Amino acid sequence: MPELPEVETVRIGLSKWVTGRTIATAEVLHPRAIRRHLPGDAHFAAVLAGRTVLDVSRRGKYLWLPLDSGDAIIGHLGMSGQLLMQPAEAEDEKHLRVRFTFTDGGPQLRFVDQRTFGGLSVSEGGAGLPDEISHIARDPMDPLFDDTAFTARIRGRHTEVKRALLDQTLISGVGNIYADEALWRAGLHGTRPTDQLTRPAVARLLGHVRDVLSEAIVAGGTSFDELYVDVNGESGYFDRSLNAYGRENEPCHRCGAIIRREQFMNRSSFSCPRCQPKPRS
DNA sequence: GAGTTTACCTGTACGC
DNA sequence: TGCGTACAGGTAAACT
């Protein structure tokens, strides 16, 4: 599942392959893939034809490609989205949703998405930071991320710490996998109330979040199946480094207790019952 | 207004 | 073999 490390891996690959190239055509093969582009697929194709990609940027799990028109292509991978570079003669992928060709006749950019939770749209005048994603907080790897402000905000919330980590308006880029990993490292159960965390506890947690994310970026992300791959179709290998996520009934790497799985926010959470005791209710 | 729940999706695994 | 069901989970709308 694409979280910050996966999206960053895609961003790096994309920027290498599409920066400076001019779009010839943008072909929408499935309307749901551009459902957030309200003017529709004909408009999507028309505003992109002839535009040159200036850069590939990221805010949290969102990507955006500033164009020479001042607009930008916004992309989100959702659960199963992929942005792949493919030679023109390569066979269409089963879940190919959008295809970009370039005036140089080189490799195509293809948006492939099995579950169609992801999507693309064009943001008018969005070459800076598109309005559509301005509500997304900076991610903790961003040099402008404000630790003091984050600490104050999370301690001011009346919610559980895992909910807070998944709240993209508070801190971006963290999803279910890396939230569980950071909480395991911090020795915190996900239901711990945020207003009871001390400042040093928040600082430690933030440090673990950064460690997990940066280690995962180096590994090229986490791939459980073929649903996450980089622009060249290669898997990441951070799944070998997971301590909590997906390890139900396996021994904790730190204390040997059996990792438990619990339902939380309609998804699975994994934690060590000894290292991460539940708070008293 | 803040916090929480639900809908959106489809392929895969599994039990009967 | 085929059918039904549970599950994966990021985001935003809907709800409390």
CATH number at residue A53: 3.20.190.10
Measuring CA to CA, which residue among A277, A278, A281, A274 is closest to residue A252?
A274
For residue A260, the enclosing domain spans 147-271
Within a domain: A277: no
Is residue A10 domain-shared with residue A95, that is, in the same domain?
A: yes
* Cα–Cα distance measured from residue A105 to residue A275, given in angstroms and rounded to the nearest whole number: 55
Nucleotide nearest to A118 (CA to C1'): C10
Separation between the CA of A268 and the C1’ of C8 (whole angstroms): 9
* Contact predicate A198/A151, CB 8 Å: no
Q: With 70 as the cut, is the pLDDT of residue A225 above it?
A: no
Q: Which residue is nearest to nucleotide B4 (CA to C1')?
A: A265
Of A133, A157, A181, which marks where a domain is finished?
Answer: A133
Residue A161 burial by Cβ neighbours in a 10 Å radius (0-12, 13-18, 19+): buried
Protein CA at A175 to nucleotide C1' at C11, angstroms:
12
Query: Is the Cβ atom of A166 within 7 Å of strand C at any atom?
Result: yes
Strand B interface, protein residues by Cβ within 7 Å? A 32, 35, 79, 94-95, 114-117, 157-160, 163, 265-266
Same-domain check for residues A123 and A215: no
Is A157 part of any known ligand binding site? yes
Question: Based on the domain organization, do A124 and A178 belong to the same domain?
Answer: no
Are A89 and A121 contained in the same domain? yes
A196-211: average pLDDT: 94
In whole numbers, what is the pLDDT of chain A averaged over residues? 90
Nearest residue (CA) to C1' of B8:
A117
Distance (Å, rounded) from C-alpha A115 to C-alpha A106?
Answer: 28
Per the structure, the count of domains in chain A is 2
In this structure, the answer to whether residues A155 and A259 fall within a common structural domain is yes
A224 DSSP assignment = S
Say yes or no: Cβ of A32 under 7 A from any atom of strand C.
Answer: no
Round to a whole number and report the distance in Å from the CA of A158 to the C1' of B4: 12
Alpha carbon distance A153, A147 (integer Å): 10
Residue A90 sits in the same domain as residue A162? no
Mean pLDDT of the region A263-275: 87
- What are A229-262's pLDDT values in tens digits? 787 877 787 777 899 998 988 999 999 999 998 8
Annotated binding-site residue? A158: no
Contact in structure between A174 and A209 (CB atoms under 8 Å): yes
Residue A95 annotated in ligand binding: yes
Across the range A163-176, mean pLDDT stands at 92
Structure confidence at residue A200 as a pLDDT band (50, 70, 90): very high
Rounded distance in angstroms from the CA atom of residue A244 to the C1' atom of nucleotide B10: 27
Residue A115 approaches strand C within 7 Å at CB: yes
Q: How far is the CA of A166 from the C1' of C13 (A)?
A: 17
Nucleotides in B strand less than 7 A from protein CB: 2-11
* Per-residue model confidence as pLDDT tens digits over A90-107: 988 888 999 999 999 999
Split at pLDDT 50, 70, 90, the class of A205 is very high
Active-site positions of A read 2-3, 61, 267
A113 has which bridge partners?
A81
